[in-house]
Amino acid sequence: MRRKKIDPAINAVAEWHPAVQAAGHVEVGDLVMSLTILDGDERHDAERLFIDAAGYWEKLLTSEGLTTAEARLPDKIIRATQ
C-alpha cells in the first residue's frame, strides 16, 4: 500500500462502548474506545493487529541476530488458565 494510493475498501473506525466491568482506572459505565480496521466485509481489532505486528518484527529481528532473546519485550498477552 502506498501513501498516495487509497483503497476505499479499507477504513478505520473509532467506537465508544460503556464498560460493563471495572478494570484498572475504568469504572462501570465509563466510555471506552475501541479501534477497528474494516477491510471490505472483514472487521479487525486494531490493537490486536498492532500486537501481532510487534510480535512479527520482534521474531524477525531476533532470528536475524539484530536483537537478543534476553532483550525482547515482555509478553503482550498472558493466557488465562483453564
Assigned C-alpha cell, 7: 483503497
The reported pLDDT for the residue numbered 80 is: 75
How many CA atoms, within 13 angstroms, populate the side-chain half-sphere of residue 41?
Answer: 0
The model's confidence at residue 5, banded by pLDDT at 50, 70 and 90, is confident
Residue-wise pLDDT tens digits, 10-60: 999 999 999 999 988 899 999 999 999 999 999 999 999 998 998 899 889
Nearest by Cα to 11 from 29, 47, 35: 35
Assigned C-alpha cell, 53: 505486528
Assigned C-alpha cell, 62: 531476533
Does the pTM surpass 0.85? The reply is no
